[in-house]
Amino acid sequence: MSERANSGEEAPLYIKVNAKDNVAIIVNTGDLPAGTSFACGLKLRESIPQGHKVALTDLPRNAPIIRYGEVIGYARDPISAGSWVKEQLVTLPAPPALDELPLANQVPPALPPLEGYTFEGYRNEDGSVGTKNILGITTSVQCVAGVLDYAVKRMKEELLPRYGHVEDVVALTHHYGCGVAIGAPDAIIPIRTIANMATNPNFGGEVLVIGLGCEKLVPDRLIPAKGGSVVSLQDHHGFQGMIQAIMASAEEKLMKLNERRRVTCSASDLVVGLQCGGSDAFSGVTANPAVGYAADLLVRAGATVLFSEVTEVRDAVHLLTPRVVNEEVGRALIREMKWYDEYLDKGEADRSANPSPGNKRGGLVNIVEKSLGSVVKSGSSPITGVLSPGEKAARKGLLYAATPASDFVCGTLQFASGANMEVFTTGRGTPYGLAVVPVIKVATRSLLAEEWHDLIDVNAGTIATGEATIEDVGWELFRTILDVASGRKQTWADRWGLHNSLTLFNPAPVT
């Protein structure tokens, strides 16, 4: 709900999300000055910036501070109504106890099927569908990255113009493969990530691995059961011999990929990863709820939807465990939360390491508030499965894919899980994109969408000002996903070639 001040058409505006809330966020661009009065009788005691919280009632010391109908913290000192609820005034509450969470006791009923929606994609032999037609070249070790980068430059200049139906050649380089404890239990995470990236639907089943010849991560571990090609640099004479071997193997793959054509595919063939970066206090009010609505539409259409970011789920996990389809899925979700708790403990890190300074400038006081705004990206569908980091999705519906919150690592892991499309919400702004999958960026605020008009694909800021509803923007995003997946529309990141590096998650020891 929203409340305007009593000073005319351009009156100040705040948003109160839930009837239980005792704080609200300021909507207007810039600061609202001290003395601003709202129709409800609330008067600002001090200037408050856009996105930051105002106390709606007097809050005694240790009183719960409530947003989204949930406790996001406790008042460190008394806070008067109309005051700015700043980070330093909020005590971080304890996280939900994982062993006490309800499991599958409020499973939402399945929403009505959404039939007849299609996109133009690249159908693969295994039944998966790509949204791009790319030659992805995998590496087994960082040592070969420089050679491969040189070869890819040559391919783009000399080979790619001959194969007009192939969009790009991408080197899947990384910092793994040797000097690592390859047999450590957690080494499975980077290894399966690299292997699963190579078989993403956008690569058309054509797997080419470049190795050195003495690395710990032997290339054969990255080759799928149906085969692929390996070029080992130590098997060739001189640098030019290496380049010639890579180019020859690449051209064989390009010839096959060039035969691919877009065909009409059901929306159920989409695998869409959802994440957020540069979040602000509007994320949980505008962009993330709109993405959640689009996620429900995708699930209704039979698609696979991945939501992620453990540290931005952990403090709201109690809202998710009741939605899992059964106790087995619930236990898997708790398992991933526990694993990450232990991972952070080993690194002597805690929850206060998130949010970032930019998140705080955007009005988020702590990880609890950020988490509550983050999980609404998941919409309202039942959670049908849980993936460990880098694990391939093998079922339809809404899946929790465990990843760190880092934009680059999350995007890489979702790609490894089979995502052929990503949706990325941002309030502070980021030019983030990936060469391997289209990334649709959704702004939480209209000012960001206006200032970054050639970087933002969908503006959800209109929800805050009442110009559009969550449903309106959700449908707009759903249709944009179909258009981008079909190649009918290009994301701004792809238009400008703004592509971040793929980044592995490696919690295993480096030797």
Residues 211, 147 share a domain: yes
Residues 143, 57 share a domain: no
Structure tokens at 363: 């009005």
Give domain status of residue 223, yes or no.
Answer: yes
End-to-end CA distance of the chain: 55
Residues 328, 253 share a domain: no
Residues 306, 228 share a domain: no
Residues 387, 325 share a domain: yes
d(CA 227, CA 172): 18
How many structural domains comprise the chain? 3
Mean pLDDT, contiguous 10-residue spans, the chain (511 residues)? 47 93 95 92 96 98 98 98 97 95 95 96 97 98 98 98 98 96 96 98 98 97 90 98 98 98 98 96 97 98 98 97 98 98 91 89 96 98 98 97 96 98 97 97 97 98 96 98 98 97 95 91
Within 8 A by CB and 6+ apart from 470, the residues are: 286, 289, 290, 293, 463
Within 8 A by CB and 6+ apart from 33, the residues are: 44, 47
Give domain status of residue 100, yes or no.
Answer: no
Helices 287-300, 470-485: inter-axial angle, 10-degree rounding: 60
Give domain status of residue 116, yes or no.
Answer: no
List b or e across 85-115, with b for residues whose CB sees 16 or more CB atoms inside 10 angstroms. Answer: bebebbebbebbebeebebbeeeeeeeeebe
Give domain status of residue 396, yes or no.
Answer: yes
Give domain status of residue 114, yes or no.
Answer: no
pLDDT at 10: 60
Instruction: Judge contact between 23 and 73, C-beta under 8 A.
Output: no
Residues 249, 276 share a domain: no
CATH of the domain at 220: 3.40.50
How would you write 61-114 as a 3-class SS string? CCCEEEECCEEEEEECCCECCCCECCHHHEECCCCCCHHHCCCCCCCCCCCCCC
Least Cα distance to 375 among 405, 342, 397 occurs for 405
Structure tokens at 3: 């409340």
Least Cα distance to 69 among 2, 16, 3, 21 occurs for 21
Residues 473, 446 share a domain: yes
d(CA 289, CA 295): 9
- The H or E element containing residue 214 is none
| pTM of the complete model | 0.95
Structure tokens at 310: 């453990």
Instruction: Judge contact between 192 and 164, C-beta under 8 A.
Output: no
CATH of the domain at 14: 2.30.130.110
Boundary of a domain, candidates 257, 278, 311 = 257
Residues 89, 137 share a domain: no
pLDDT at 2: 53
Instruction: Judge contact between 456 and 442, C-beta under 8 A.
Output: yes
Helices 238-257, 145-154: inter-axial angle, 10-degree rounding: 60
Within 8 A by CB and 6+ apart from 248, the residues are: none
- The H or E element containing residue 165 is none
Residues 430, 385 share a domain: yes
Give domain status of residue 503, yes or no.
Answer: no
Long-range contacts at 238-244 (CB < 8 A, ≥ 24 apart)? 239/147, 242/147, 242/151, 243/147, 243/150, 243/151, 243/154
d(CA 406, CA 350): 15
Find how far residue 501's CA is from the centre of its chain.
15
Residues 198, 78 share a domain: no
Can you point out the beta strands (E) in 408-504? 421-426, 439-443, 458-459
Give the single-character DSSP code of 22: S
Residues 458, 393 share a domain: yes
Domain of 237, in residue numbers: 132-257
Give domain status of residue 511, yes or no.
Answer: no
d(CA 393, CA 66): 36
Give the single-character DSSP code of 352: G
Least Cα distance to 382 among 35, 79, 106, 21 occurs for 106
Least Cα distance to 55 among 10, 92, 18, 85 occurs for 85
In DSSP notation, 110-138 reads PPPP--S-EEEEEE-TTS-EESS-EEEEE
d(CA 207, CA 199): 7
CA atoms within a 13 Å half-sphere pointing along the CA-CB vector of 424 = 30
Residues 318, 449 share a domain: yes
Boundary of a domain, candidates 44, 67, 94 = 94
Find how far residue 204's CA is from the centre of its chain.
23
d(CA 122, CA 498): 23
Phi-psi region of 4 (alpha: psi -120 to 50; beta: other; left: phi over 0): beta
Helices 407-416, 188-198: inter-axial angle, 10-degree rounding: 60
d(CA 27, CA 30): 9
Give the single-character DSSP code of 157: I
Boundary of a domain, candidates 229, 257, 285 = 257
Instruction: Count CB neighbours of 394 within 10 A.
Output: 11
Give domain status of residue 296, yes or no.
Answer: yes
Structure tokens at 395: 């079922």
